[in-house]
């Protein structure tokens, strides 16, 4: 039995589609099928029921799946530990980040890649729920985002800074002189709204659960940079965290004047996963960055 075969088995079990699994693993479907057959022969059991319409796990496959996942996680931990024991930062670092965190991350990415050129950074921009799922599967070393609204028992969150949900307007907009914004302030304005699934949208819906139908929503987008460009060049406003305009020009963030308007910026890790030295170093550099330094809370030991 080889780790590669277990990896192929797990991906096929997750997708229940040989073609999709092969694409995800960057191998041909024939190679994938051959490796699965070899694993079945070695274990003297059938792992998948196959017909022309569907693929599904057998009872043996169902029992093997959690064991195979755990074995792959343990193998990855062994490699990470050995690399760290060499007292050098190398290998790869898998970072998940929500869209609104991008301006916070850029400074540290540049500094880290200059300081540790042997470490490859794999950065994934996705929604909070997608990132939490990847972290639970240990596909990521850590996630940078605001504090999630739902509970994830195997994930722990470490606070970096406090932040507010804000109205983002161009510097020439009539609202730009305000220090606080209310729902009544934004009702007359056309709004470029962040799409559902983005944390700023989720936070707005939580703070103002019945406000959506009152708003003059001209468009909805799931790309924060495009939202900012639209607002900068028009009279439309948008609703995002104040952190999103860090190091940008021509825009103003006006926090909503409402109780509990706190979007806590966090680093999220899987409780039982091995923490790479590269991950610790990246997070230390993030805490010391200009974007975070004034509000950072030290938590790494």
Could you write out the DSSP letters of every residue in 223-260? -HHHHHHHHHTSS-BEEEEGGGGTT-SSEEEEEB-STT
Q: Which domain holds residue 218?
A: 165-255
236 and 93, same domain (yes or no): no
- The CATH number covering residue 112 comes to 3.40.190.10
- Flag whether 301 is in a domain: no
Q: Are residues 60 and 105 in the same domain?
A: no
Token pair of 113 as six digits: 């890649």
CATH number at residue 225: 3.40.190.290
* Same domain as 247, residue 276: no
Confidence at residue 299, expressed as pLDDT on a 0 to 100 scale:
46
- CATH number of the domain to which 11 belongs: 1.10.10.10
CA separation for the pair 288, 189 (Å, rounded): 38
Which residue positions in the chain have pLDDT lower than 50?
A: 297-301
Single residue among 58, 83, 108 that ends a domain in this structure: 83
Per-residue pLDDT tens digits for 177-223 = 999 999 999 999 999 999 988 888 988 998 899 999 999 999 999 88
Do both 121 and 248 map to the same domain? Answer: no
Q: Are 50 and 106 found together in one domain? A: no
Same-domain check for residues 154 and 272: yes
The span from the CA of 160 to the CA of 297, in Å, is 5
Determine if residue 25 is left, alpha or beta; phi over 0 gives left, psi from -120 to 50 gives alpha, anything else beta: alpha
Q: What tokens were used for 230?
A: 């639209």
Q: Is residue 185, in this structure, part of any structural domain at all? A: yes
Contacts for 235 with CB less than 8 Å, ≥ 6 apart: 170, 173, 189, 190
The length of the chain in residues reads: 301
Residue 280 to residues 26, 134, 160, 177, 284: CA-CA distances in angstroms? 30, 19, 14, 40, 6
DSSP secondary structure, 27-42, as one string? S-HHHHHHHHHHHHHH
Domain-terminating residue out of 48, 83, 118: 83
Query: Looking at 83, 112, 146, which one is the last position of a domain?
Result: 83
Q: Does 300 reside within a domain?
A: no
Q: What pLDDT, on a 0 to 100 scale, did the predictor assign at position 300?
A: 46
245 shares its domain with 169: yes
């Amino acid at each position: 039995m080889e780790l590669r075969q277990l990896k192929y088995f797990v991906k096929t079990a997750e997708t229940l589609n040989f073609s999709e699994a092969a694409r995800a693993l960057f191998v041909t479907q024939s190679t994938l099928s051959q490796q699965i057959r070899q694993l079945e022969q070695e274990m003297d059991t059938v792992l998948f029921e196959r017909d022309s319409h569907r693929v599904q796990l057998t009872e043996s496959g169902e029992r093997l799946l959690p064991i195979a996942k755990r074995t792959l996680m343990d193998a990855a931990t062994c490699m990470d530990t050995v690399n760290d024991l060499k007292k050098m930062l190398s290998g790869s670092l898998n970072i998940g980040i929500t869209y609104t965190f991008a301006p916070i991350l850029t400074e540290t990415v540049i500094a880290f890649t200059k300081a540790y050129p042997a470490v490859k950074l794999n950065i994934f921009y996705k929604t909070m729920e997608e990132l939490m799922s990847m972290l639970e599967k240990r596909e990521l070393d850590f996630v940078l985002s605001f504090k999630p609204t739902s509970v994830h028992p195997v994930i722990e969150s470490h606070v970096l800074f406090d932040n507010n949900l804000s109205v983002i307007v161009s510097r020439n907009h009539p609202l730009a002189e305000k220090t606080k914004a209310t729902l009544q302030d934004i009702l007359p304005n056309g709004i470029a709204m962040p799409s559902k699934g983005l944390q700023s949208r989720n936070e707005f819906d939580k703070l103002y659960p019945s406000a959506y139908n009152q708003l003059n929503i001209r468009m909805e987008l799931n790309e924060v940079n495009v939202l900012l460009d639209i607002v900068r060049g028009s009279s439309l406003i948008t609703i995002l965290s104040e952190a999103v305009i860090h190091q940008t020009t021509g825009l103003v963030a006006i926090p909503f004047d409402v109780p509990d308007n706190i979007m806590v910026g966090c680093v999220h890790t899987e409780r039982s996963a091995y923490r790479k030295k590269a991950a610790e170093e990246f997070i230390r550099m993030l805490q010391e960055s200009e974007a975070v330094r004034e509000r950072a809370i030290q938590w790494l030991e």
